[in-house]
Structure 1
Amino acid sequence: MKRDEATVSNQNQQNLSSSLPGETTTMKISDALKKLDCLYLLDAFEERDVRTVLDLENVLMDKLLVSSSEVKEEDDREEDKDIEEEYMKKEVIEFIAEEFCFGEMKYAEKILEETKKELMTRKRNFNEEKKEKDTRTMTFGRMYSKTFLAKTTSLYDMHMGAENMGPFLYQLCRFTKPENVLEIGAGYTSVYLMQALRDNKKEIEVYERMREEHSCVVRNENPNGKDTPWSNEAYFSRKSEKRKTRETYEPQLHVVDNMAHAHTTAHLVKECSEELNVDDEENNFLVVHEADAFNPDLSATLAPGVQFDFLWIDLGAANRIETFLKNFWFRVKPGGYVAVHSTLTNSLSREWLEKMRMLARNGGKNADGSVSEYGVFETMSFLEPHKLFQNSFTIFQRRDAHPIDSSEYAEPVLTKFP
């Protein structure tokens, strides 16, 4: 190894050492010499600007790198590793003796041992601090509790086919952070959606506290370097769309149900949400609309002025989905999602779904080249293969700001690397 290469490696070692905890409290050379009863050697260390054990480590590392390259040039065989290590130790001791100890080998050996002890102590402290992670942003949520599952039992009915839909919708909303959600057909999934919104609010509040205390960052191990922000500044500096306040996230779930389905559990939703304390005076997430979802005026009169980030449609009337979605599509925010239950294995829904798939493949254009009511959108379907009914769902994402004469929605590019 060349001398300039050794210097670069030494600088890297210094950066590593300086990132270890205790940098400012590392043992002073004067304390080490006093401990070894050889304080008279202090001037020799100070002349070389070696004032702490950390300084000595860096000097020795430089020497160690040079000595190591000299040994390898002579013999690079694996079986001579022990000999090489012994040689380097001897070289370092001789170096300390000559440079700092007026040739006294016994003190050089003791100083080397003291240096090793200090290094091991700092590394051990560093590893212990690394274990103390900030877990505030880890996976959490009330859906994972036994209490939540027990309380939602009253809402469950096998014929509604939502036992896996509820958890999926919860996770989808936790991931995408929708602020305005519309559910058509209340019941088992309603509480999962409400809980997702409540847990989202708590998560965002945690991020806001971490931002205030400057801990929502990726730490730079180099003390002279800058930390990298972990949160998206644009998201946290926006105003809530619901009330135009400085609240970052103010979610609301609008539920529409006519209470007519034979197996409906919609009437139990409010009761269950109160038992779970999901919806209270402080966090009023739920707005129930007892109405006919197929009323042609509903899309214009329901929550006027609100564009929905997410729609969950569980109508139980496959032959009428097309009319409903056409009426409500303009209420979906560009980039927003629509999930429709039971779309794949019944002929009525499947016929409509194939039309939508064809439109998606054609970039939202009809067969004659004209722009459809939906504009550009994407779609994906999921199947539960073990069930005969209520065994699938399809997700659509709106990509256009407006079906006619518009630019496509696109997610922002925030960083160069993942």
Structure 2
Amino acid sequence: MFDSGFHAAVAGLRVPAAGTDVVAPLLSSLVHLARPRRVLEVGMGYTTPFLAAALVQVAEQARAEASALAAKTARHLDSVGELDSDWLHADPALRAPGFYLDPYQPRFIAVDDLSIPDSSAGRVMDVLASLGLAEHVQVVNANIRECRALLPDDFTPIDLAWVDAWECLYFFDHFWDMINPDGGLLVMHYLMTYPEGEAILDYIAKVQRRKPGELEVLNLLEPHKMLQNSLTVIRRTSAGRARSFAHAGGHLDFDGRLRHEAETQAGRGTASA
């Protein structure tokens, strides 16, 4: 999907002063890594088609992986009778059956009130349409202070929020409760660029100290840029679930929960067993 045709289509959305030339493909990679099911973007532009395309691509991959994993598990149980390292490493390798128990059907909402003259937000929908992605993006025409009331009632928890807007502090204060407490990600642009952004980072650090276990923070700096030169990634951790099946030394426990989830995903059991 990210071929020369895609890059030619999105080139008109690139605003050099916005500083998202590297951010956009990084966000698409983050979608592939984290596989979020609900994605919110505040501030449309060059990043929007990258997010939309990545979500469509991952959804296609997840469907194929789910089918292949079920077939692999069924074959292995029929021939060997138990799960083992050969099952784990066979294609699709290393996949956690529990992830595939619910179909991966991501939703993407993009928010913008089209009030910034230099923004490319007003051209985004035409580009999405040319790429066949328009139906995968729900647009909310509102500013950051109005948009929460306009989001669908079932659009929680948010697994990935990308905020490229001045009022990042407002978003953190008024939308944080919507971020998935089991590892949901809030990514904000350019907080290391201005004193106001540094003040927001200090505020977030105070929240982190006041509420241990609530969040993790990573600041990424583009040192070769003067402005628009950072990303702040905040991971909400207040209700994180353990996902490890391994014992000390990396030895995997193939029985119990893992076997149950694998059998259920392969149609050999029931989710309530």
In 2, Cα distance between equivalents of 1:225 and 1:398: 33
Pairwise CA distance, 1:381: 0.3
**1:273 aligned to 2:122?**
no
Deviation at 1:377, TM superposition (A): 0.7
1:223 CA drift (Å): 11
Instruction: Specify which of 222, 227, 234 is matched with residue 98 of structure 2.
Output: 234
Pair 1:326 & 2:173 matched: yes
> What is the CA-CA distance between 1:154 and the residue it aligns to?
1.0
Q: CA deviation at 1:398?
A: 0.9
The alpha-carbon distance between structure 1 residues 398 and 224, as it changes in their structure 2 partners (threshold 3 A), is closer
Number of matched residues? 239
CA distance in 2, matches of 1:160, 1:396: 21
Residue 286 in 1 paired to residue 137 in 2? yes
Q: Secondary structure at the match of 2:159?
A: strand
Q: Offset at 1:231? A: 2.3
TM-score, normalised by the number of residues in structure 1: 0.53
Distance 1:349 1:411 in 2: 33
- Mapped to 2, the partners of 1:285 and 1:322 lie a distance apart of 28
Q: CA deviation at 1:216?
A: 9.7
In structure 2, do the counterparts of structure 1 residues 256 and 211 end up closer, same or farther at CA, with 3 Å as the change threshold?
Answer: same
- 1:67-120, CA deviations, whole angstroms, 9 ceiling, x for partnerless residues? xxxxxxxxxxxxxxxxxxxxxxxxxxxxxxxxxxxxxxxxxxxxxxxxxxxxxx
Structure 2 spans left out of the alignment, 5+ residues: 89-93, 252-273
Q: Which residue of structure 2 lines up, in the alignment, with residue 261 of structure 1?
A: 116
Question: Partners of 2:74 and 2:197 in 1: how far apart?
Answer: 46
Secondary structure at 2:29's aligned position in 1? Answer: helix
Report what 1:148 is aligned to.
6
User: Per the alignment, in what secondary structure is the counterpart of residue 291 of structure 1?
Assistant: coil
Aligned-pair distance for 1:187? 0.6
1:178-223 per-residue CA deviation (whole Å, 9 max, x = no partner) reads 01000000010000000110110111012022124327999xxx99
Is 1:393 matched up with 2:245? Answer: no
- Is the 1:216–1:231 contact (alpha carbons within 8 Å) kept by the matching residues of 2? no
Following TM superposition, by how much is the alpha carbon of 1:225 offset from its aligned partner in structure 2, in angstroms?
Answer: 8.6
Matched AA of 1:312: W
- Counterpart residue number, 2:148: 299
- Taking the aligned partners of 2:9 and 2:82, their CA distance within structure 1 comes to 53
Conserved? CA contact 1:341–1:393, under 8 Å: yes
Q: Quick one: distance in 2 between partners of 1:271 and 1:376?
A: 40
> Matches of 2:99 and 2:142 in 1, distance apart?
34
Distance 2:30 2:189 in 1: 15
Do the aligned partners of 1:378 and 1:397 also contact (CA within 8 Å) in 2? Answer: yes
Matches within 5 A, 1:85-104: none
After TM superposition, the structure 1 stretch with the greater mean CA deviation from structure 2, 207-216 or 329-338, is 207-216
Which residue does 1:378 correspond to in 2? Answer: 216
Shift of 1:265: 0.9
Give SS of 1:413's match. Answer: coil
The amino acid of 1:194's aligned partner reads A
For 1:250, which of 89, 97, 105 is the aligned residue?
A: 105
| Contact 2:69–2:97 (8 Å) recurs in 1 | no
User: Which residue number in structure 1 is paired with residue 240 of structure 2?
Assistant: 409
Which stretch of structure 1 is more off in the superposition, 250-259 or 268-277? 268-277
- Note the residue ranges of structure 1 that are not aligned, 5 or more in a row: 1-141, 239-247, 366-374, 401-407
C-alpha distance in 2, partners of 1:386/1:331? Answer: 34
Q: Distance in 2 between matches of 1:228 and 1:312?
A: 37
Mapped contact 2:44–2:110 kept (Cα < 8 A)? yes
Distance 1:339 1:278, change over 3 A: same
Aligned twin of 1:309: 159
Q: 1:217 to 1:376 in 2, by over 3 A?
A: farther
Give the aligned partner of residue 35 of structure 2.
177
Distance in 2 between the 1:330 and 1:223 partners?
45
Q: Find the aligned partners of 1:305 and 1:209 in 2 and give their Cα distance.
A: 27
> Quick one: percent identity of the two aligned structures?
23
Residue 260 of structure 2 corresponds to which residue in structure 1? none
Verify the 8 A CA contact 2:73 2:87 in the aligned structure 1: no
CA deviation map 1:217-271 (0-9, x unaligned): 99xxx99995424321211123xxxxxxxxx111111001010112111122111
Mark the structure with the bigger radius of gyration. 1
TM-score (norm 2): 0.80
The 1:216/1:278 distance shift into structure 2, 3 A limit, reads farther
Aligned counterparts of 1:156 and 1:355: Cα–Cα separation in 2? 31
